[in-house]
Amino acid sequence: MAWVESPLQMLCAVEAHHAGLLGADTQVVPRAKLPALNATRRELKGLALPPGATLTAPESEMRRPRRGATWAVGDAFSGKVQLSLLTAFPRRVVIVDDGLATIHLLELLGGRPWKPLLRARAQAGPLRYALGTAAGLRLRAAARAGRLSVFTALPVPEALADGVRRAGARLVLHDFAWLRAQPLARPLPGERTIVLGTSLVRNGLIHRDRYFDWLAGLGTDGPVAYFPHRREDPGDLDRVREQPGIRVYDGGAPAEMTLRGLSAEQRVLSLPSTAVTSLRVLLSARGVSVDAVEVPDDWWTAQAAPSLRSHLQMFAHHDSGVTR
C-alpha cells in the first residue's frame, strides 16, 4: 500500500511499483481534499497503469499499513506517518520521492543516529521532538535490517549516497521509465518559453515585487506559458495573468506529466525546484533546455536562512550525483 500526499509522491509511487519495489499488487491511496492530487489521479487514470497498480478513491485518514506488508510513503516527516512507524509493523518501508524533503531525509539517515526526523525549518516542541526521535530510531533500525528503500529521481551526491548505504538503506534512483513510455494525454503549450511557478513567494522566502519584475521582463521578450505551483497564492496568480505576454495554464498535474512531450525548440525556466531535475531527466533526450534561475541575493527575505538558500540553489546548477 502507498499513502501519497502530493502529486510527485503519487507519480513516484506508480514508478516504484513499475520498478518492482512494491510487490505484485499495489494500492495507491491519495489523501483526500487536495485538488492537485485529484488532478494527478485523473491524469494517471487516463494512462495505462502498470499491471497490479490500482489508484483508490481519496481517503481523509491515513490507512495504517498491514503487518507484514510493504508500505510506501512520501512524507517521512509527517506526524501521522511517524506514529504508524511506531505502532504498525510493515515488513518493508519504501520512501517515494517528495522533492527537497527526500534529500533532507537522506542527510538525516546518513547522519547521527539520535537525530530526530524533523522538517528542515521545523520548530518542534518536546512531544514532537520525542516522536521524531523515536521514528528516526525505528526507520534506522529498518535500514540496518535491510527493510528500508528510498526511491528517488534526484541526483544524490556520492558522499551522501555512501552514508545512506552505510546506514543499511537501499537507495534506488530512477528516470521515470514508466512515464516516458506513456502517450501524451493533453495538448502541449505552443509558447517557446515555459515558466514553472514557485512557492517561494507565498512561503515568504523571496520578495514578491522582485519576482514579478522578473516575470514582466520575460513577457516583454516573447510569449510565455506559465504553469503554477500547486501552493501559489490565488491573488498572485491573478497578478501573473495581468502580465503582458504571459498565459497561465492549468497546473494541477505535476509538470513531469504535463510537459514531458516538449520539443527541442522550447525551453523551461524555473526558480530552484526539484522539478528542474526531474524535467531534465525526462527532456534531455528530446533536446529541451531546462534551466534553473539562480536567485539574486536581493530577492531573498530575512526568513530565508543561509543554509536554506544554499540548499535550494543546488538546483540552479547542473546535476551532479551518483550514476543511475
Question: What whole-number percentage of the chain has pLDDT above 90?
Answer: 65
Query: 311 or 165, which is more confident?
Result: 165
Closest listed residue to residue 83, CA positions, set 147, 91, 75, 6: 75
Residue 290 banded pLDDT, cuts 50, 70, 90: very high
Strand positions, DSSP E, 80-135: 92-96
172 burial via Cβ count (<10 Å: 0-12, 13-18, 19+)? middle
Average pLDDT of the residues in 109-138: 88
Q: How far is CA 98 from CA 5, 180, 209, 253, in A?
A: 9, 19, 29, 15
Domains and CATH numbers, the chain: 2-180 (no CATH), 193-316 (3.40.50)
pLDDT at 323 over 70: no
pLDDT in tens, 213-250: 999 999 988 899 999 998 899 999 999 999 999 999 98
| Highest mean pLDDT (candidates 5-9, 13-17, 89-93) | 13-17
CA distance 73 to 4: 6
d(CA 132, CA 317): 32
Q: What is the pLDDT of residues 275-286, one digit of tens each?
A: 888 899 889 888
pLDDT value at position 315?
A: 60
pLDDT value at 65 more than 50: yes
Confidence of residue 317 (pLDDT cuts 50, 70, 90): low
Q: What is the pLDDT of residue 320?
A: 44
Please report the pLDDT score of residue 197 as a whole number.
Answer: 94
Task: Note the pLDDT of residue 252.
Answer: 72
Q: How many whole angstroms separate alpha carbon 130 and alpha carbon 288?
A: 46
